Structure 1
Amino acid sequence: MISKGRKKGTIRFAVSPGPDVRKVTLAGDFTEWQPKPMRKQKDGTFVAHLSVAAGSYEYKYIIDGQWAVDPDSEAWAANPYGTVNSVATIE
């Protein structure tokens, strides 16, 4: 799930993968597909904040080493690996 932050161009990524998950990272074209750590909250949700320019971005979560789409994504895009990426559009 993503939401716009208070500052223009800031987005909040959040995912609740379950109680046994130990590590979640975020990767997308905005990070050149390099994993960015997400912080685990007390309720078990993992969160990351990013500042990005307006545009459309593809991303995925890496949950305990496994690539995963955002189940709440506004859209999906096919990738060269035969799967899909989540898509976020920032205005």
Structure 2
Amino acid sequence: MSDLEKKVLFEFYAPGAQTVQVCGTFNNWDPSKCPLKKETGGWWRCTLKLPVGRYEYRYMVDGRWENDQRPVVCVPNPFGTWNCVVEVS
């Protein structure tokens, strides 16, 4: 991993979920590219190496779009909802 690439932890609390994926501008919004792994206590987690930059993302939980549960910056998207933003620096 270079100085231009950083590890970013994505996590989502969904104890009853069957699948959780993170989708965003870093993977062309493809849910199959970034599945989260179910861990103890109902948390789902995935660490990605991303180049320095600004990315929009959302979670796909059992086929439904969800935003990050933590307080994060959000921006409107073309579908009338919101995308979360992560700054990698």
Decide: shared fold, TM above 0.5.
yes
Aligned length: 83
Aligned residue in 2 for 1:52: 50
Aligned residue in 2 for 1:33: 29
Identity %: 31
* Aligned with 1:20 (options 10, 13, 16): 16
* Aligned mates of 1:20, 1:54 — CA distance in 2: 33
Q: CA RMSD in A?
A: 1.1
Structure 1: any 5+ residue segments left out of the alignment?
A: 1-7
Aligned residue in 1 for 2:8: 11
| TM-score, with length taken from structure 1 | 0.85
Runs of 4+ in structure 1 off by over 2 angstroms are none
Structure 2: any 5+ residue segments left out of the alignment?
A: none
